[in-house]
Amino acid sequence: MRFALALAVLAATLPAHAQNQWVLAQSTLTWHVTHPMHEVAGTSHAAKGKGTCAKGECNFLIAVPVNTFHSGDSNRDLHTLQVVRGAEFPMVMVRTRLPQSALTSPTIRANLEVQLAGQTAHYSDVLLHRTQHGNDVEITGTIPATCSDFKIERPSFLTVPIHNEIPVDFDVLWRPE
Partner 1 sequence: MSTEATVRVFALVFWLQEQAAVLRGICPGRGITLTASLLLIPFLTFAQSVSHPAATDAIFSSSLLPSAELPDAPAPPRPQNAQTQQQKPQQNNEPTLGDLGFTPAQTQANAKLQARLNKRTHMLKIHQTLGLITLAPLAATVIVSSGATPKHSHTSNGTVIEPSSSGVDLHAALGSTTAVLYGLTAYCAIAAPKIAGVKPKGAIRLHRDLVWIHLPGMVLTPILGGMALDQENQGEKPHGIAAAHSYVAWTTVTAYAASAVAVSWPIHWKFWEK
CA angle 126, 149, 118 (to 5 degrees): 110
Decide: 69 and 40 in contact? Cβ < 8 Å: no
Binding segment toward partner 1, per CB under 8 A, in 2-10, 90-98, 124-132, 139-147: 90-98
Q: Which of 6, 12, 17, 79 binds partner 1 (CB under 8 A)?
A: 79
Q: Which residue lies nearer to partner 1 by CB, 71 or 142?
A: 71
CB of 161 to partner 1, least distance (A): 13
Which string of b and e fits 140-166 if b means at least 16 CB within 10 Å?
ebebebebebbebebeeeeeeebbeeb
Binding segment toward partner 1, per CB under 8 A, in 7-15, 76-84, 98-106, 168-176: 76-84
50 contributes a contact to partner 1 by CB under 8 A: yes
CB of 138 to partner 1, least distance (A): 19
Exposed, middle or buried by CB within 10 Å (0-12, 13-18, 19+), for 7?
Answer: exposed
Q: Which residue lies nearer to partner 1 by CB, 11 or 44?
A: 44
